[in-house]
Amino acid sequence: MAQVLEFKLPDLGEGLTEAEIVRWLVEVGDVVAIDQPVVEVETAKAMVEVPCPYGGVVTARFGEEGTELPVGAPLLTVAVGAAEGSSGSAASPSSPSSASSSLPSPSPSPSSGSGTESSGGSGNVLVGYGTGAPAARRRRIRPDRLDRAVAEAPVSVALVVAAPVAEVLVAEAPVHEGPVPVVSPLVRRLARQHDIDLRRLAGSGPDGLILRADVDRAIRTAEETAAATARVQAPVAAVVAAPNGVAAASDAERIPLRGVRGAVADKLSRSRTEIPDATCWVDADATELMAVRAAMNAATGPSAGPKVSVLALLARICTAALARFPELNATVDTAAREIVRLPGVHLGFAAQTERGLVVPVVRDAHTRNAESIGAEIARLTELARTGKLSPAQLTGGTFTLNNYGVFGVDGSTPIINHPEAAMLGVGRIMPKPWVHQGELAVRQVVQLSLTFDHRVCDGGTAGGFLRYVADCVEQPAVLLRTL
């Protein structure tokens, strides 16, 4: 006998509380294997394929593509174990209801209890960590067999698939006497958030059980009623007042702040709100640094190696500068009113992608040379470009390097990547007139800007850090002291 199990959006870690459905990988009626990816979601930090811990037939999906769901909200339901039991012992191999279209049985489990263990679910959340079960070929179950499997399944979860539900009566429905027939806490919370009186809803589930679909329908009905009332009571204005008081055209485009854009907005707003930042900058002659890089990349024979980028050299200069000025490799614990100086440098670098601005992190950058840092930057940049960075690769930075020169600009006052204490910004390197050795010459000049948290240090420390970085850019031999 089949059992319908509900798979909820799991906790994807790193403090994430919601995710947006980007693409469904399965349809209702598809057969899925244990740990088969069923949906691709976008969190504030990465794109993740979510595998289902159950094997069986997909009986329902919750949420369309583009819908944002909180952690713990239902993703889909799966009918598990509707194999031989639903076909009957008299079915022949040639029968339309033969085992050729039956459901896969769940993996054996030593536990005899109900829940995930008894259904053969793996309990895994991320792709790549599973039971090792081979991925099953996606196939459809005929509607007659799917209906029979679902009909025979015992109700073991709050949300199950049912026939097309009846219209939900809101105002006209009689008020329930006694306990309200709701099992799911999520349904209660959703109704409470939208001021829906559950006692006035007619449930479409078994024995009048109120499902999430019933509440969603009631919410839509209330919103449509309110919109119709507003249209009758108020004339349609050509211009409406925006929240900030600025006039906005009625046909203005509104873009939700969610996903990567929403995460960037939240982090930058928090940085500006919490961190008393200050910025200092300096122009530096990068001619010698560019010459050193050219010599490195032109080397042949035993001294040859992978090409070294300018960003890799600047990152190595940053790690050397942070060793001299550890005050900037820190964070502020506002609750304890303490400055926390961090022992290692995990260097973030800003990368612009199609999904928006992300900051991958080079772990233990203080232990790496320029070649190693360059290789890691290249690897993380490729992952960022393809949208495959994991949340762990986007968090835990202690200092950020921002090369906005790639956009063809000279300077900027960068916003600190909260909860870090400083960020170094690098403009474009371009030929400019410069006094060199007492004479006017054309040199490769770059502007460097340092934004720092004034709580962790004073201007003297920040100025010393930036001056050391500029000296290393102008005279790369200075770095030999630390090698």
What lies within 8 Å, CB to CB, of 402 at 6+ separation is: 349, 350, 412, 414, 423, 424, 425, 426
- Classified as helix, coil or strand, 428 is coil
CA distances from 405 to 22, 191, 291 (A): 32, 51, 19
Partners of 445 in the β-ladder: 285, 430
Q: Which two tokens stand for residue 128?
A: 């790549």
- Classified as helix, coil or strand, 125 is coil
Report yes or no: 417 and 423 within 8 Å, Cβ to Cβ. yes
Q: Which two tokens stand for residue 317?
A: 């200069």
Round the CA-based radius of gyration of the chain to a whole number and report it: 30
Of 264, 302, 303, which is closest to residue 415 (Cα–Cα)?
Answer: 264
Residue type present at position 397:
G
What lies within 8 Å, CB to CB, of 147 at 6+ separation is: none
CA distances from 383 to 145, 340, 386, 389 (A): 43, 31, 5, 5
Angle at the Cα of 93 (from 88 to 95), degrees rounded to 5?
70
Helix axes 212-233, 185-193, angle to 10 degrees: 10
Name the DSSP class of 386: T
Residue with tokens 């009186």: 197
- Helix or strand holding residue 147 (H, E): helix 143-152
Report yes or no: 279 and 453 within 8 Å, Cβ to Cβ. no
Asked, as a colleague might, if the bond just before 419 is cis with ω within 30 of 0, I would say yes
- Classified as helix, coil or strand, 140 is strand
348 CB-side CA count, 13 A: 27
Task: Compute the distance between CA of residue 414 and CA of residue 436 in angstroms, rounded to an integer.
Answer: 29
**Count of C-beta atoms within a 10 Å radius of residue 290:** 18
Report yes or no: 53 and 121 within 8 Å, Cβ to Cβ. yes
Task: Compute the distance between CA of residue 49 and CA of residue 52 in angstroms, rounded to an integer.
Answer: 10
Tell me which residues are annotated as active site: 454, 458
